[in-house]
Amino acid sequence: MTLLFRGGFQMKLSKKLTTLAIVGAMSATAAVASAANIGLVNMSQVVNSYPGYGALDMKMQQVDAQYRPQIEKKVQEIEKIQDQTQAEAEFNKSVAPLLQKENEEINKIAQPMMQAIHNAVESIRVEKKMDVVLDDPYTIRAADANSKIENITNEVISRLKK
């Protein structure tokens, strides 16, 4: 169970980005069925280049450091419980609420940055008349030969720095 809590914000952010990639890929399926304008953006690079990301990351790490000891202590106690059903019930009662509070606090810190990134990506998508923007080039399995695929990562980073 302990592995669920290691990695701090980067792991949580990676999970969010992966989820966004999957949602984007599912949304892109119809657009990619025929010729399309497809944008690619490396979200990890954009986040790490975001103005003030270092300070935001430090705040998120502080939140993680605040909750981690409590969570790890509870998990150690739960790992001693032999009955799986009882262990799950205790996890849901004592650990899940702490995880939820931690995630809510981290999301409050990250939300303005993620909204700014979304706005930059969306404005570039509209300007370039792209049908879809994906954050993982490997989500494109096939595209019409007439489709245009363009990496807009540097444009997004540049727009965020203005």
How many domains, the chain?
1
Within a domain: residue 113?
yes
Is residue 7 predicted with pLDDT exceeding 70? no
Could you tell me the CATH number of the domain that includes residue 81? Answer: 3.30.910
| Chain mean pLDDT for the chain | 84
Question: Is there a contact between 66 and 157 (Cβ–Cβ < 8 Å)?
Answer: no
Question: Does the residue 20 lie in any domain?
Answer: no
For residues 117 and 50, the answer to whether their CB atoms sit within 8 Å is yes
Tell me, yes or no, whether 10 lies in a domain: no
Q: Is the pLDDT of residue 162 over 90?
A: no
Is the torsion defined by CA of 3, 9, 12, 14 positive or negative?
negative
Assess if residue 47 is contained within a domain. Answer: yes
| DSSP labels, 113-148 | HHHHHHHHHHHHHHHTT-SEEES-GGG-----TT-E
**Residue numbers of the domain that contains 131:** 37-161
Full-prediction pTM beyond 0.85? no
In a domain, 56, yes or no: yes
Q: What is the pLDDT of residue 65?
A: 96
